Amino acid sequence: MVLERKNEIMTNDVLETIMNRRSVLRFESTPVEDDKLEAILESGRWAPSWINKQPWNFIVIKDMKTKNMLSEVVPTTFVQGLKEAPLCIVVAVNAMEDPYHYVEDGAAAAQNMALAAYSVGLNSSWIGVYDRKDDKKSAEAAVRKILEVPKDVRVIAIIPIGKVKGEVPKKDRKSLRQLVYQEKFGNR
């Protein structure tokens, strides 16, 4: 029966994590335990990638000076969270290792880490800095300079991680009816 199947899916831990994770704007200063950080990094390592290229590197940033420098070049509403979070993970991908899918590969790794953070009782946000044009004046270029990222490596995202300060925002989603078509675009 469809209803029973739906209830079965709704109690799945993975789906509950996906549905309940939210990006947060502010973080407490409570340090992130090493075992939780390792679990988050492992989840990024196990993300899917094109023909298993795994073109990513993860830069863990805890230094307040570095976080402040990053917050000055990243134009986003998440700047305060970037400064406050006890740590940030920068997702960088080698564009030469996977010239066709490095953006998707990096995004999958970032998503895995955001979900893993939530699953171990932490919160995160996603600060996208990738610049499609690779403009030398972009936020991505500034982040690469600050972190001494080589020219053939692209920065996809910065993920501040920690315990939320205040309330986790509540957000609704569009209904599946608004999003899903059958067989052809526009065919409901």
Q: Please give the Cα distance from 140 to 134 (Å, whole number).
A: 8
Q: How confident is the model at residue 4 (pLDDT cuts 50, 70, 90)?
A: very low
Q: How confident is the model at residue 75 (pLDDT cuts 50, 70, 90)?
A: confident
Question: What is the pTM assigned to this prediction?
Answer: 0.91
Q: Please give the Cα distance from 25 to 34 (Å, whole number).
A: 23
Q: Find all residues with CB under 8 Å of 106, minimum gap 6, and list them.
A: 55, 56, 91, 92, 93, 130, 154, 156, 157
User: For 98-129, how does the pLDDT look when each residue is reduced to its tens digit (9 = 90+)?
Assistant: 899 999 999 999 999 999 999 999 999 999 99
Q: How far is CA 40 from CA 76, 135, 136, in A?
A: 24, 30, 31
What local confidence, expressed as pLDDT, does residue 141 receive? 96
Q: Find all residues with CB under 8 Å of 61, minimum gap 6, and list them.
A: 67, 70, 87, 88, 89, 90, 147
Return the domain boundaries, the chain: 23-179
Q: What is the DSSP string of 82-103?
A: HHHSSEEEEEEEETTTSTTTHH
For 71-83, what is the mean pLDDT? Answer: 88
Q: How confident is the model at residue 24 (pLDDT cuts 50, 70, 90)?
A: very high
User: For 40-73, how does the pLDDT look when each residue is reduced to its tens digit (9 = 90+)?
Assistant: 999 999 999 999 999 999 999 999 999 999 999 9
61 - beta bridge partners? 88
Q: Give, to the nearest 10 degrees, the angle between helix 64-73 and helix 139-147.
A: 160
Q: What is the mean pLDDT of the chain?
A: 92
Cα atoms in the 13 Å half-sphere on the side-chain side of 149: 23
Flag whether pLDDT at 96 surpasses 50.
yes
Range 23-179: architecture per CATH: 3-Layer(aba) Sandwich (3.40)
